[in-house]
Chains A and B, each alone.
Chain A
Amino acid sequence: MSAPMLEVEGLDAWYGAARILFDLSFEVRRGEAVALIGPNGAGKSTTLKALMGLVRRRARRLVFDGVDIADLPTYRIARLGIGYVPEDRRIFTDLTVAENLDIAARPGAAGGHGPAWSREALFDLFPNLARMQDRRGGAMSGGEQQMLSLARALVSAPQLLVLDEPSEGVAPIIVEQMIDTIGALKASGLSILLSEQNYAVCNSICDRAYVIGQGELRWSGPMASLDEARNHDSASPLD
C-alpha cells in the first residue's frame, strides 16, 4: 500500500457552541474505499464537513495529498482534488442539469489533479443525465439529483470522492445502481470516503471501515472483520 492520501489525526469539530467531534483519527490511502459507519447523529456528516472546512474544526494533523489543509479555505481544499457529494445532495435547483455541471468545471489550471471527465464519459456513466440536460435541478427526482450531485463532483476532476450518505432517501433500485456506479469509479482508481448508515452499501464497496459513535472513534479495521465482529462479538461495535 502507498502512503496515505488523506491523513486525519485528532480532529475536533464544533457546530456553533456544541462540540460534535472528539479526537477523531482516520486515513484514506490511494485507490482505497473507506467507510465511516455509525448511527444518526454520530458525527459522520460533521466529519466530512470538517474535512471540507465547512464547520469550525481543529486537528493535530490534516493533510491531503501532501498538503496541510487545516488552514485552507473550502475552495482551496476542493481544488486539491476532493469531490464533495453532500448529504441531501444540494443541487442548484434554479440551474439546469448542464449548468450544474458547468459550475463545477473550473476553467484553466484549477482542475482537481485527478482524471478529467469529458461530458461523453460522464453521460456514459449517467445515461439519465444526458437526456435531461436542460431540466431544472429542482424538477428532478431524488435519485436523479443524487446522480447529478455525484456527476457534478466528478466534473471537478477529483482524486478523492467524499460521499455523504448517498443512499439516504433514495429508492432501493437506485441504491443498487449507485453501488454499481461507485464500484466502477473505485475500479477506475478513484479513492473514496463514504459515510453511510446502510451497512450493505459499505460492505459492497469499501475495503476498510471506521465506526463512529457520539463523535468518537469506536472501532476500525478491514470491512471483512467488521462483519465478523458484528456476527460473533457480543459487544458489537454497531450496537
Chain B
Amino acid sequence: MTFDSSLLQSLLFQSVNGFASASGLFLVAAGLSIIFGVTRIVNMAHGSFYMLGLYGAVTLAPRLGAVLGPDLGYWAAVACAALGVAVLGALVEVVLLRRIYGAPELYQLLATFALLLVISDAVLWLWGPEDILGPRAPGLSGAVELLGRNLPRYDVFLALAGPAVLAGLHLLLARSRFGRLIRAATQDREMVAALGINEALLFTAVFALGAGIAGLGGALQMAREPANLAIDLSVLGDAFVVVVVGGMGSIRGAYVAAVLVAQVKALCIALGTVEIGALAFNLSRLTLVAEFLIMALVLVVRPHGLFGRPQAAIPHRGTSEAPLRPLGRPARLALLAGLALLALLPLAEGTFPYAPVLALDMLIAVLFAASLHFIMGPGGMDSFGHAAYFGLGAYGAALAATALGAPTPVALLAGIGVAAAGAVLFGWFCVRLEGVYLAMLTLAFAQIVWSVAFQWEEVTGGSNGLFGVWPDWPFDSRAGLYLAALVLVALALLAIRRMVFAPFGLALRACRDSSLRAEALGIPVARVRWLAFALAGTMCGAAGGLYAFAKGSISPEAISVSRSIDGLVMVLLGGVESLAGPVLGATTLTFLKDNVMRETDYWRALLGALILAVVLVAPGGIAGALRRLRFRAGRAP
C-alpha cells in the first residue's frame, strides 16, 4: 500500500460520500432514538418508514413534477413523502403501539417487527418487486471539483443536510414546549402525565415526528439510490448500530455514531485491498463486519453507548412469571408414550412419504426453539441473534463433513464444538448487558457470523453456501437421520428440564428475577448467565448441524435475521413461561410454514399477522392458553 495523491483523493471522495451516507443514517437513527427515549419502544419498523419515504418520493416526484415543474416537484415530493410517513406513524402509534406500552420489551420488539413484515409485503403489493429509479435532484445534479476530484453535488448537499437536521432537532428540544415535554417524558413519563399533560397525545406526536424524520431520510435518498425492497432491513440494521453506538435517546450521539460508522465503511472501501506482509485483506469486503465490530467494541467499553446513560427503570406493569412446576407422574408417562409413538413414525413412511421429512424439520425447530427458550425464559435474556449458533453449528458440521471428510457423528460434534466456542466468546460480552442492549448485541454478533459466512467465499462458499453435506451410514436414510435426531432432541430437552430444576437453574432464575438480590446472595450472576448462554448456544449448534445434514447444504440465507426471528416467534407462540412452550411453538410454526405460508407470495404479512395475534390476543402463547383452559376447567363445578 502506497500513500500517493490518488489514494488521498480517493479518501477524500469516500469521506464526502461517507458524510452523505451518515446523514441518511442519522435521520433514521435520530427518529428511532427520540421514539425510544419517550416511549421506551425500540421500533423495529423504523427502516420501513425510511423505505416508505423513499418509495413515496419516487412515486410522487414525477406526478408532482408534471403539475409544479420538475424543480418544485422534486422538493414537494420529498416534503409530501415525509409528511405522509409521519401521518402513517401517528396511525401506527394509535392503532398498535398504545396496546403494547405495558407489555414486556420482547413483545414490543416483536410487534414492531411484525409491522416491518406487514409493511414489507404491502410495499411489494403496491409497487411490485422491481427496483424503482428516482429522478435527479434539480440544481444539484452536477459535481463540484475539489482537489482535482469531482464530488457529486447532491452528496455534498446531503452531507450538509445531516448537521442541519441535527441543529433543527436540537433547537426543537431545547427551545420549544414540545421539546421540553419530550425531554421530561424521556426521563419520567408518569410524572408528566401527573402534571396534566396528555401523555397519549405526546406519544403520538413523538412517534409521528420520529417516523417523519425517517421518511425524510428515505425521500432525500431518491436521487442517490433506487427504491428497493431490501432497504428496510439493511437500514434498520445500520440504524440500530448507530443508535446503540451513540447511546439510546441521545441525538448528538446518533450523529457522531452515524459519522463514525459511515466513515469507517467509507475508509474500508477507499483503502481497498491492504497487504500486510504476504497476507492481502480486501477491506472493501469487510464493510458489513466493520460496523458490527464497532458496535461490539463500543458496547463492551461503554455499555450504554458513547453518549448514552443508564435508562431509568420503568415500573413493571405486567405480572411476574409464574414459577415453573415439575411434571407429575401421569404427564411423564404420557410423554414417554408420545416419544414411543414418534419413534414408530418411520413405519408410516410408506403411506406418508413426506412425514419423516416434516417431522425432522420439526425436531430441528424444536431443538432450536428450546435452546433459545432456555436463555429467554429461565435466563431472562432476550436474544435476537440465536441464528448465530445455528449457523456456526451448521457450517462447522458441513465443513467437517465436506472439507475434512469426517464421519457424520464426528462432523456433528465438530459443529457443536464450533457453536459452543462461538457462544462462549459472544456470551462473555452479551451477559454483561440487559434488555434491549443485550438484544441488539446478540443481533450484532449474529450479523457478524452471517457476514463472515456471506463474504468469506473461499471457505464458506459465499452466498451459495456449501453443498453435498450428506450424512453417511446409518444416517443416510430418512428414517436413520430422523431417529438419530429424535434421540438427540429428546436428550437435550431432558437435559434442559433437569437443569432448570437443578440448583444451577434456580440460580439462573434468581438472576433473572432480581440480579441485585442474586448477587447479594453470593450467586456469581455474570458467570451463571454466561454458562447458560454457552449451553444454549451449544444445543442450538446441534440443531444447526442436524439442519445441514437434513438439507444436504447450508447457505447464509438459512442463518439470517429471519431465522433468529423465527425462533422468537416459536418461543412466544408456544409461550415463554412454560417448558412445553417452545416445543408447541416450534411444531406449530414449522407446520404453518410448510403448509400455509409456502402457498403465498405474502408469507411475511401472514407471519406478521400471526405475531401480532400472539402479542395482542394470546400473550401467554399456546401453552398459556392451554393452562388457562385447564385452570378454568378445574374450577368449573
Contacts and interface: CB of A to CB of B under 8 A. Distances in A.
Whether A and B are associated in the same complex: the answer reads yes
B187 interface: yes
24 contacts: A16-B319, A16-B320, A52-B194, A73-B193, A73-B198, A75-B193, A75-B195, A78-B193, A78-B196, A79-B196, A86-B191, A86-B194, A92-B188, A92-B191, A95-B180, A95-B183, A95-B184, A99-B180, A100-B184, A102-B177, A106-B196, A152-B195, A153-B195, A156-B196
Given A92-B183, A92-B187, A103-B184, A54 B194 contact: yes
A103 B202 CA distance: 13
A101 to B, nearest CB: 10
A17 B320 contact: yes
A104 interface: yes
A140 B107 CA distance: 38
A45 to B, nearest CB: 13
Among B187, B200, B317, chain A packs the most CB atoms within 10 A around the CB of B187
B184 A74 contact: no
Interface string A71-104: 0011100110000101000101111000110111
A204 B349 CA distance: 87
A106 to B, nearest CB: 6
A112 B196 contact: yes
B190 A74 contact: yes
Contacts of B187: 92-94
A224 interface: no
Nearest to A152: B195
Interface string A1-42: 000000000000000110000000000000000000000000
B181 interface: yes
Contacts of A93: 187
Contacts of B191: 86, 90, 92
B93 interface: no
What is the size category of the interface that chain A forms with chain B? 20 to 34
Interface string B279-292: 00000000000000
Contact of B190 (A17, A54, A94, A104): A54
Contact of B183 (A75, A94, A153): A94
Given A73-B193, A78-B193, 10 more contacts: A17-B319, A17-B320, A54-B193, A74-B193, A78-B196, A84-B194, A100-B184, A103-B184, A106-B197, A112-B196
Contact of B184 (A73, A92, A107): A92
A70 B200 CA distance: 18
Given A75-B199, A95-B180, A16 B188 contact: no
B181 A103 contact: yes
A123 B328 CA distance: 69
Contacts of B317: 16
B78 to A, nearest CB: 32
Counting from the closest, the 7 A-B pairs by CB-CB distance are: A78-B196, A74-B193, A79-B196, A92-B184, A90-B191, A17-B319, A84-B194
B192 interface: yes
A187 interface: no
A121 B125 CA distance: 62
B196 A75 contact: yes
Interface in A48-70: 52, 54
B598 interface: no
A107 to B, nearest CB: 8
B632 interface: no
Interface in A152-183: 152-153, 156
Contacts of B183: 92, 94-95
B474 to A, nearest CB: 53
A132 interface: no
A102 B197 CA distance: 12
B127 to A, nearest CB: 40
A92 B190 CA distance: 11
A90 B184 CA distance: 11
B318 A110 contact: no
A100 B183 CA distance: 11
A202 B194 CA distance: 24
B196 A104 contact: yes
B316 interface: yes
Contacts of A104: 195-196
B180 A102 contact: yes
Interface string A99-127: 11011101100101000000000000000
Contacts of A95: 180, 183-184
A70 B264 CA distance: 56
A78 B184 CA distance: 17
A123 B300 CA distance: 47
Interface in B384-429: none
A168 to B, nearest CB: 17
A75 B180 contact: no
Contacts of B318: 16
A112 B196 CA distance: 9
Contacts of A112: 196
Contacts of A73: 193, 198-200
Interface string B282-319: 00000000000000000000000000000000001111
A78 B319 CA distance: 27
Contacts of B199: 73-75
B560 to A, nearest CB: 37
Nearest to B190: A54
B87 to A, nearest CB: 24
Contacts of A90: 188, 191
A92 B184 CA distance: 6
A95 B199 CA distance: 18
A54 B188 CA distance: 13
B180 A103 contact: yes
Contacts of A16: 316-320
B195 A103 contact: yes
Contacts of A99: 180, 184
A84 B197 CA distance: 13
A54 B198 CA distance: 14
Nearest to A104: B195
Contacts of B184: 92, 95, 99-100, 103
A78 B195 contact: yes
Interface in B182-219: 183-184, 186-188, 190-200
Nearest to B192: A103
A52 B194 CA distance: 7
A170 B191 CA distance: 21
